[in-house]
Amino acid sequence: MRNHPPNTLFVGQNTIFLPTCGSTNNELLERATHSNVAEGTVVITAHQSAGRGQRGNTWEAQPAQNLTFSVLFKPVFLPAARQFELNMAVALACHRLLSAYFPGKAALKWPNDLYYGDQKMGGILIENAVKGTLLAQSVVGIGLNVNQTAFSHPRAVSMRNAARQAFDLEDTLHELLAHLEATYLQLRAGQTDGLRQQYLGALYALGQPKLFRVGEAVREGVIRGVDPTGRLVVDMEGQPHPFGFKEIAFVWE
């Protein structure tokens, strides 16, 4: 990293670069727990040895090839019951970045995956702390496959794979931080209806018949949207069913 600040008001103005660490989320949580860390602080590493994904998965990333970082937000204006709105804002920021390079191909796979076509290009892990009925702080971890070209997972893909060219990591980070600040400020200004419509417009497989695993059964369904609490709404046998995290998964052929 060349260590010059992004063109933002506060997101990324304080950036902590670590050559290696276990998890940027853990590192930022630890710092925020023991000191007054400014909102918008970023912890980024060239090599994350114990990165975490959704469903307890690990995050595969070769050193110095991708973006693995975490951002501290303090969304004290947001009720904990509406915390999925923060997910939407963060996911949309990532989608805006990818759509600029891959128009019509970037999508958001519920709840927190970044897709290029039918392949995973990145992921988001948000860890919230609640005070009373409101969010006190949120550590937003983002892993984005940028320049890595080979993956052990057959459904993984990078920006370089898709564009057939390498990307400057710092420039890409700064673009993404600017998008994160913009969508976060939209959320803070109460523009949730607009964010929700944009999120639904970017949702992977919306309106398409797909196979899903629900418990031990495989069922066909059609994604219709996401309810206000963040549950995925899927039509099955003509009836809408809301599903929470870990209650439903795509079946890949």
224: domain CATH number? 2.30.30
Q: Identify the DSSP state of 55.
A: G
Q: How many domains does the chain have?
A: 2
Mark the ranges of the chain whose per-residue pLDDT is less than 50: 54-55
Residue 30 in tokens: 């630890």
Q: Which residue has the tokens 């209650």?
A: 247
C-alpha to C-alpha distance for 115 and 21, rounded to whole angstroms: 26
At 180 the three-state DSSP class reads helix
DSSP β-ladder status, 15-21 and 42-48: parallel
Residues 76 and 137 reside in one and the same domain:
yes
Residue 247 in tokens: 């209650």
Kindly state the percentage of the chain with pLDDT values over 90: 90
Do 102 and 85 meet the contact criterion of CB atoms below 8 Å apart? no
Residue 230 in tokens: 């963040």
Residues 137 and 226 reside in one and the same domain:
no
CA distances from 31 to 42, 48, 109, 171 (A): 11, 17, 31, 26
Do 180 and 93 meet the contact criterion of CB atoms below 8 Å apart? yes
Residues 192 and 219 reside in one and the same domain:
no
Can you give the residue range of the structural domain that contains 182?
A: 15-201
Residues 131 and 214 reside in one and the same domain:
no
pLDDT at 62: 83
C-alpha to C-alpha distance for 244 and 247, rounded to whole angstroms: 5
224 in any annotated domain: yes
Residue 184 in tokens: 């976060």
C-alpha to C-alpha distance for 208 and 105, rounded to whole angstroms: 16
pLDDT at 59: 57
126 in any annotated domain: yes
Please enumerate in sequence order all residues whose Cβ is within 8 A of that of 6, keeping only pairs 6 or more positions apart, or say none.
Answer: 12, 13, 173, 174, 177, 178
C-alpha to C-alpha distance for 220 and 205, rounded to whole angstroms: 13
pTM of the predicted protein model: 0.94
Helical residues (DSSP H) of 78-233, grouped into ranges: 84-101, 159-163, 169-188, 192-201
Longest C-alpha distance within the chain, in Å?
A: 55
CATH of the domain at 178: 3.30.930.10
1 in any annotated domain: no
- Within 9-111, strands assigned E span 15-21, 42-48, 67-73, 106-109
C-alpha to C-alpha distance for 155 and 174, rounded to whole angstroms: 27
Q: Could you tell me which of 60, 210, 83 has the C-alpha nearest to residue 140?
A: 83
Phi-psi label, residue 87: left if phi above 0, alpha if psi -120 to 50, beta otherwise? alpha
The pLDDT tens digits for 45-83 are 999 987 655 445 555 678 899 999 999 999 999 999 999
pLDDT at 60: 66
6 in any annotated domain: no
110 in any annotated domain: yes
